[in-house]
Structure 1
Amino acid sequence: MLKVKNISRERSAELYAKAKTYFPGGVNSPVRAFKSVYGTPLFIKKGDGAYLWDADDNQFIDFCCSWGPLILGHNHPAIREKVIEVMQNGMSFGAPTALENELAELILSNNKFIEKIRFNSSGTEAVMSAIRLARGYTKRDKILKFEGCYHGHLDALLVKAGSGLVTFGETSSAGVPKAYADETIVVALNDKEALVKAFNDFKNQIAAVIIEPIPANNGLLLQRKEFLQYLREVCTANGTLLIFDEVISGFRVGFTGAAGLYNIKPDIITYGKIIGGGLPVGAYGSSAEIMSNVSPEGPVYQAGTLSGNPVAMAAGIAQLTELNKPGFYNSLDEKTTTFVDEMLDFVKDRNYPVNITQIGSIFWFAFDTKAAIRKAEDIDPHSMDRFKTMHQELLNRGVYMGPSGYEVGFVSAAHTTDILNTAKQAIFDSLDVVFGPSQPSPGGRALNEQTDYRE
């Protein structure tokens, strides 16, 4: 059992109090406010390898990894040195540089699923551009998305399902006009019947279907390959473009992402900041034919002063060069699988109602169930109380997870076996507290039987 300490948050609390006078809720992105867990946010001072240090000098093993893109860990020397080298010549030009060509060639020459790419500044921007491209190419307006898949904060996709098998989206944010939501159809994941009904109800109207092929923004809702292949076939039959949102899964589960893992070719793929070593960058790619519709070659307008920013391109070149080395993903996946398998053995031995889902170097704790979860509506909201307790106990044992039970964890190349063993013991001790006799059992459904969590 690891020594428990009540970590000091005095300096972080001071910074948070001041931040609330500057920013809405004291943060520049909502989940950072720690509203889903206990205590005030931690203000981070530095990161190195698998570790973070906060403003109070507490050290943590980090499984957030800047929400995924730090697959090599914090402050990787190859990335740092490449960025410093490029910065000597300036940090922004708003004009083309050879670095854009170099990163594009590195991606395209190793990815059979896309022929041309366009860099921009974020995953949200990449998805926004992909949606616009799909509408421009097909000359249709409606978009179909799946409940529980998050695609950034653009208006057209900040929608949730209403009641019924197939529904128009209901806005999930104030400020999103109903007219925008009325162009978005929302169906449940893993539901072929709903998919067929949507295409029948809106025949020849759907420009694109967008899905996280590995849904990892609202739990880790792994889909069977058969469902994704069926989705590909339905889109092809209806002249609808299939968009894989790989902002999380791209370059994380393999160099060619989920498209390569499942060997399914979407029409458009979006990527996020992993292609910039964690710096602000995004991209979308497709066939040369579809991409020829993007301005200045075609009528679909998309632009950005910081698109192809040289510092981000430099970081991306350094990171993807490392990821493209033989055996990188095999080593990372094997390490993560061992880590997760040992945690699964622990919860099974204790008979704790926990399912730990894993794909590649991504993992997720689902509480008060022993079954794999494939739909957002099957996550018991009461179970988030379990995560709140675990999150607090982990912080007190020197382990940092994203501050929401709906978020996934990431293992990086910097997480050594010794580091993972230390983290694993902290997780074991924390789970013993979560399910200890003093903890109430949250309300909700009866427990499901254990199923195989891997496909």
Structure 2
Amino acid sequence: MGHRDPEIEEVVRETTEIAWSFGAAEPYSLELAELISSRVPWAEKVRFVNSGTEAVMSALRVARAATGREKILKFDGCYHGHLDSLLVKAGSGLAGESSSDSAGISATSIANTLVLPLDDEASVERVFETEGKNIAALIIEPLPANYGLLIQRKEFLLKIVETARKYGTLVVFDEVISGFRVGFQGMSGLLGIWPDLVTYGKIIGGGFPVGCYAGKKDLLDLVAPSGPVYQAGTLSANPFGMRAGLATLKKAQRDSIYSVLDDRTKIFTDTMTKLLNKKSNQEWEAVIHSSLFWFRKKTQQPIRRIDLIPEGHKESFAKVFHTFLKNGIYLAPSGYEVGFLSWAHDDEIIAKTLEIADKALKTF
């Protein structure tokens, strides 16, 4: 919705007069959970936490409890929060070996994490042939958007889901970025591929520190107090996040924002790409999906894996970023970060941004 949407801000102001935190269930969390479940069929039950990281951590704990297995399979180029076991990257070869992606992570923390390249069904099948009986969950961003916008083939996603289920492995879709952003049902709904568990982030709380994990009733029933899986948090489902989330999701349903944002994003990126190509000594293109966009050096083939990102892209984008920043346009600072258009980016703001960009690029 953008920064300080007036409608959502009013709800937040009202909340200061109602309640700050109960540390217990209250009617707003129930209403938000019911709204999500009523529109997202695979979210039969919902549990609220404080962040996307917590949502992923909890979903994987449920998967391990449900399967009695320990290993997790993830994909290079997907980000699932800063928990130790998933802050890993692929090692050498295609056997799923992994290495830590940060200092301070012990070898034992990542011992049960397998990492494979995106867009490679064969490597997934090979790993399941040897490790299938040990893999509790396969986790993936159905729209990888943390290392560039790496739009995946539907055939690839269908195949890895089919392979996982063949071996009794649960499928977890990390929709912290794509959920309720590309459409009310996220990528799962657009693709028609239902996960066993799904994670959402701050968008369900109107931008406040909120996350949730959801899925089939029999899986969520494993969580305490109805089951043996522990998960709790004093500020989980606090009134600010729940009421702001209700206002956000109701507005998203009411105002047909998705089709409008799709159109605005295409207009913005088409014009910006033309400006970049007119002023630059290299050819640029915009990769877009819904309201997400990523400017990068043009390539002959779609980029679906991080190892195919053109050499020198980071440095080329840095020049664009600083040129725009000096003139009052703030893009995501890294060449690997994805940009987003929000409801606040109306036609007037987009036109003004493009006007400034045209002038700024005269010095490029």
TM-score, structure 2 normalization: 0.95
1:426, distance to aligned residue in structure 2 (A): 3.5
The amino acid of 1:302's aligned partner reads: Q
Contact 1:168 1:183 in 2 (8 A): no
Deviation of the 1:271 alpha carbon = 0.3
For 1:311, which of 237, 240, 250 is the aligned residue?
240
Query: 1:176 matched to which residue of 2?
Result: 105
Q: Match of 1:374?
A: 304
Residues 426 and 234 from structure 1, CA distance in 2 versus in 1: closer, same or farther, beyond 3 angstroms?
A: farther
Q: How many Å apart are 1:326 and its aligned residue? A: 5.3
Q: Residue 85 of structure 1 corresponds to which residue in structure 2?
A: 14
The one-letter amino acid of 1:312's match is G
- The answer on whether the counterparts of 2:36 and 2:43 sit within 8 Å (CA) in structure 1 is no
Match of residue 121 from structure 1 = 50
Q: Does 1:253 align with 2:179?
A: no
Residue 400, structure 1, aligned to residue 330, structure 2: yes
Identity, % of aligned positions: 47
Three-state SS of the structure 1 residue aligned to 2:11 is helix
Describe the SS at the equivalent of 2:222.
Answer: coil
- Is 1:158–1:171's contact at 8 Å kept on the other side of the alignment? yes
Q: Distance in 2 between matches of 1:416 and 1:91?
A: 32
Residue number among 126, 146, 149 corresponding to 1:220 in the alignment = 149
What amino acid is the match of 1:248?
I
Match of 1:364 in 2: 294
In 1: Cα distance, 2:327 partner to 2:301 partner: 28
Corresponding position of 2:313: 383
The answer as to 2:272 corresponding to 1:343 is yes
Q: Is the 8 A contact 1:78 1:318 kept in 2?
A: yes
Residue 203 (structure 1) shift: 2.6
RMSD, aligned α-carbons = 1.7
Q: CA deviation at 1:100?
A: 0.6
Deviations 1:386-439 (CA, angstroms, capped at 9, x unpaired): 1111111111221111221111111011111121122223444555655xxxxx
Match of 2:284 in 1: 354
SS of match in other structure, 1:244: strand
- Over residues 93-113 of structure 1, what are the superposed CA-to-partner deviations in whole Å (9 max), with x where a residue is unaligned? 111111111111111111112
Report SS of the residue matched to 2:173.
Answer: strand
SS at match of 1:356: strand
- Three-state SS of the structure 2 residue aligned to 1:270 is strand
Structure 2 residue 264 is the aligned partner of structure 1 residue 264: no
Q: Pick which of 138-147 and 170-179 moved more.
A: 170-179
Q: Any residues of structure 2 matched to 1:4-403 within 5 Å, and which? A: 72-325=1-254, 327-346=256-275, 352-367=282-297, 369=299, 371-380=301-310, 382-403=312-333
1:335-381 CA distance string (max 9 Å, x none):
11222233344456678322210000000011364542110111235
What SS does structure 1 have at the residue aligned with 2:3?
coil
- Cα distance in 2, alignment partners of residues 124 and 339 from structure 1: 31
User: Is the 1:367–1:384 contact (alpha carbons within 8 Å) kept by the matching residues of 2?
Assistant: no
Amino acid at match of 2:291: S
Counterpart contact for 2:164–2:171, Cα < 8 Å: yes
Within 2, Cα distance between the matches of 1:208 and 1:430? 48
The SS at the match of 1:167 is: coil
Superimposed CA distance per residue, residues 44-67 of structure 1 (whole angstroms, 9 cap, x where no aligned partner): xxxxxxxxxxxxxxxxxxxxxxxx
In structure 2, what is the Cα distance between the partners aligned to 1:157 and 1:424? 39
- CA gap of 1:326–1:409, structure 2 versus 1, over 3 A, is same
- C-alpha deviation, 1:181, in angstroms: 1.3
- Between Structure 1 and Structure 2, the one with more helix by share is 2
SS at 1:92 equivalent: coil
Determine the C-alpha separation between the residues in 1 that align with 2:358 and 2:269: 12
State how many pairs are aligned. Answer: 363
Aligned with 2:345 (options 397, 412, 415): 415
TM-score, normalised to structure 1's length? Answer: 0.77
Question: What is the alpha-carbon distance in structure 1 between the residues aligned to residue 65 and residue 131 of structure 2?
Answer: 18
Contact 2:88 2:110 in 1 (8 A): yes
C-alpha distance in 2, partners of 1:287/1:431?
A: 51
Q: More deviation in 295-304 or 331-340? A: 331-340
Letter in structure 1 aligned against 2:52: G
1:421 alignment partner AA: A
Q: Secondary structure at the match of 1:235?
A: helix
